[in-house]
Structure 1
Amino acid sequence: MRQMAAMTPGPYLHLGGDESLSTPEVDFVRFIERVTTDAAQTGKTIIGWHEMGAATAMPRGTIGQYWSFTRPQEGAEDDTMTFVRNGGQVILSPADVAYLDMVYETGTEFGQAWAEGPTSVRESYGWKPTRIIDGIGEEQILGIEAPIWTETLHRMQDVEYMAFPRLASVMEIAWSPKADHDQHDFETFAPRAVAFSERLEAAGIGYHRAPDLPWTDAAQ
């Protein structure tokens, strides 16, 4: 961790901490509390997936990254609140709307479907960050991240296909003020997503022609 901290210019160090499914909880908690304390001594602000919230003695200000669904599953809400109670903030990456490696619709070539099935462009646009967990509002949200895991992707063209145009949905959700969230309208967004895709095409960047967008002959 000292080597990683020395190599990276940013203020953060992400430790992971999820999917420790074969580790007894008492051992997991003890390890997380120890390793976050050690990592914080590098001077970095520590980030971990929300499961790390099972440990309540992490360094103050540790940041949690939430990857459960827009309706929290299996203790994810309580684990995430640990970071807020400890003076930290939260990065939101709800898998059912923000994971870019989820299939667009049944039958598409790439991606996975474990996050409650396919994620259309419409679904990736239709959520509100401040309404996922009670007690986590705009002040507690550090930002939004749209992960793309590549175990089913082999070429950059595959990555572009999965990322675009859904990334435009997540970007607009992430960068809009809270006051604008109730004004978001997919029917207004959809033509802009098509125009965005046309600009990508002009730049030589690939994308998926999602069936829920109003494509024109010019975009074919």
Structure 2
Amino acid sequence: MSDDTDLIPAPRSVGGNGTAAPHVLDEHTALDAPPGTDRVAHWLRTTVGQATRLPLGPGTDGNRIRLRVRPGLAEEHGPESYRLTVDEHTVSIEGASEAGLFWGAQTLRQLLGPDAFRRAPVTERRTWELPAVVIEDAPRFRWRGMLLDVARHFMPKDGVLRYIDLLAAHKLNVLHLHLTDDQGWRLEIAAFPRLTEVGAWRARTKLGHRDSPLWDERPHGGYYTQADIREIVAYAAERHITVVPEVDIPGHSQAAIAAYPELGNTDVIDTASLEVWDTWGVNPNVLAPTDNTLAFYEQVLTEVLELFPSPYVHLGGDECPKDQWRASPTAQARIAAEGLGDEDGLQSWFIRHFDRWLAARGRRLVGWDEILEGGLAEGATVSSWRGYAGGIAAARAGHDVIMCPEQQVYLDHRQAGGTEEPVPIGYVRTLEDVFRFEPVPPELTPAEAARVIGTQANIWTEVTETQQRVDYQVFPRLAAFAEVAWSRLPAPAERDHAGFERRMTAHYARLDALGVDYRPPSGPRPWQRRPGIIGRPIEGAPPIV
């Protein structure tokens, strides 16, 4: 049987189920869900059941959807593998784990057609039919992520929950929340209330690229209470998604310094005069390398660990200008006392301190590839964003790597050339470009390549100020990225882009049903454009390094 199921991401194998007839779901269809499958059963009843208005009540006989966890499936394809079998009488989903079972349920939803992605039926009566198939599937990578920057423009809690559902629909399993930056602090910390009283709000916002003369004069801000975060984390866990928090240090910290000026380099500048930053770019105001700063962030991270059970905690480490440290007697004394050599060593000192601190509490530090400068902390995982070079160096040094090069998978970058793209930023990266992205550099040995634990697409929100704008930048390219992260694709030049485009035709209907304001293949709709707001086009990307 040819694969005419139009599934995204593409499964490992799809075959016909002999001469079996299609399976029809109706009001008598039961959900056979033994212990260990409860969360998947609940998800099916509250999503597929809501869209179809089918009760999917308990039962083990007759017309049924049968859920089973089969650990033995993991022996060949890993803990997230699943097998979906459909015949005239039974739909069987077997997962190597509950996560695998959940991904199989997502595939079932796709097979039912785009109306299964709605929140209520659009017709009173219709037939819900599944083709007779056998699908065997498993992901290529164990880290399949998306970064959502809620620091530059705050996304209310409901929007974050919605994006968790969108990630789950694409079999992505990591939501990296960028919670702090120069332009805002978005996480309630009980020990330091001014982080949100002061740090969560800015007086105005630059419109467009930082070279733009335009301003939005409205105050902007918002933050998540600790109860909000617990809800977000629990909601994600039910969908087998890990929420990885990012608290950026020692750069990208002006919002924190505005709230607590003693965190900055007080011997160099008047930190008490700083406010939450209202524009974009690399900010010169960085944390002071003092014992007070370390103790402050240890307390912050103590609360972060209580809220986020993720084994990984991201501490940024990127774009940290060293000018204030060069001018600071306090910083220079720290360099001399610790024998750090220079300011790069001082940045490494910051990261190494918290690498040890997190490791002592059973967690692992993740940082952007600048944490390689001055020496890489022992247990650190590297997010390689400035190209492949940082990831290659980290993998060769025996460190785990998440590949997220800006030249390939920064989704805030524009999707086409020309002037119609809203606030055109950075490199042109089309849907096809993302589809042909390869996370594992060919120059790595097999042992080094195994250090690439996954890949991640990043959406930064300097110029994506609303959910509608985020949707436009993320979709449809996230569908192509999901295929790269999940499916075992051939080399980039050999990938079947025409076949992917055909499957995307069906997938656009799913996105429509989900209410996603994606970029159409023909270009932006009139209301998606942002005339007069200046971006920074780069006509050609430099070589990837």
Q: TM-score range by the shorter chain?
A: 0.7 to 0.9
User: Aligned residues, how many?
Assistant: 202
TM-aligned CA distance change 1:9 to 1:26, over 3 Å? closer
Q: Secondary structure at the match of 2:352?
A: helix
Q: Which segment is superposed worse, 19-28 or 2-11?
A: 19-28
In the TM superposition, what is the alpha-carbon distance from 1:169 to its structure 2 partner? 0.9
TM-score (structure 2 length as normaliser): 0.35
In the TM superposition, what is the alpha-carbon distance from 1:124 to its structure 2 partner? 1.1
Is 1:126 matched up with 2:426? no
After TM superposition, list the pairs within 5 Å mapping 1:85-124 onto structure 2. Answer: 85-106=396-417, 107-110=419-422, 112-114=424-426, 117-124=427-434
In the TM superposition, what is the alpha-carbon distance from 1:209 to its structure 2 partner? 1.0
Is 1:186 matched up with 2:497? yes
Structure 1: how far apart are the matches of 2:322 and 2:348?
13
Q: Report the residue type matching 2:429 in the other structure.
A: T
Is 1:22 matched up with 2:322? yes
Q: Secondary structure at the match of 2:508?
A: helix
Is 1:202 matched up with 2:502? no
TM-aligned CA distance change 1:174 to 1:108, over 3 Å? farther
TM-aligned CA distance change 1:87 to 1:183, over 3 Å? same
Q: Which has the higher strand share?
A: 2
Once the two structures are superposed, what CA deviation does each residue of 1:65-119 show, in whole Å capped at 9, x if it has no partner?
Answer: 11123xx4xxxx2x434533554311111112211111111324435533xx211
Structure 2: how far apart are the matches of 1:35 and 1:112?
37
Structure 1: how far apart are the matches of 2:508 and 2:357?
45
Q: Which has the higher helix share?
A: 1
- Structure 1 contact 64–83 (Cα < 8 Å) conserved: yes
From 372, 388, 397, give the equivalent of 1:53.
Answer: 372
Which residue of the partner structure matches residue 466 of structure 2? Answer: 155
Which residue of the partner structure matches residue 12 of structure 1? Answer: 312
TM-aligned CA distance change 1:189 to 1:40, over 3 Å? same
Structure 2: how far apart are the matches of 1:119 and 1:54?
29
After TM superposition, list the pairs within 5 Å mapping 1:65-104 onto structure 2. Answer: 65-69=383-387, 72=388, 77=389, 79-104=390-415
TM-aligned CA distance change 1:111 to 1:144, over 3 Å? farther
In the TM superposition, what is the alpha-carbon distance from 1:30 to its structure 2 partner? 2.2
Once the two structures are superposed, what CA deviation does each residue of 1:183-206 show, in whole Å capped at 9, x if it has no partner?
Answer: 422121112123211211122221
Structure 2 spans left out of the alignment, 5+ residues: 1-300, 324-342, 524-545
TM-aligned CA distance change 1:8 to 1:39, over 3 Å? same
Structure 2: how far apart are the matches of 1:56 and 1:64?
12
Structure 1: how far apart are the matches of 2:355 and 2:463?
31
Identity of aligned residues (%): 27
Q: Report the residue type matching 1:2 in the other structure.
A: T
From 327, 341, 356, give the equivalent of 1:37.
Answer: 356
Which residue of the partner structure matches residue 96 of structure 2? Answer: none
In the TM superposition, what is the alpha-carbon distance from 1:29 to its structure 2 partner? 2.1
Structure 2: how far apart are the matches of 1:133 and 1:28?
29
Structure 2: how far apart are the matches of 1:15 and 1:210?
37
In the TM superposition, what is the alpha-carbon distance from 1:14 to its structure 2 partner? 0.6
Q: Report the residue type matching 2:425 in the other structure.
A: A
TM-aligned CA distance change 1:185 to 1:178, over 3 Å? closer
- Structure 1 contact 128–173 (Cα < 8 Å) conserved: yes
Structure showing greater Rg: 2
TM-aligned CA distance change 1:126 to 1:179, over 3 Å? closer
TM-score (structure 1 length as normaliser): 0.80
- Structure 2 contact 345–374 (Cα < 8 Å) conserved: no
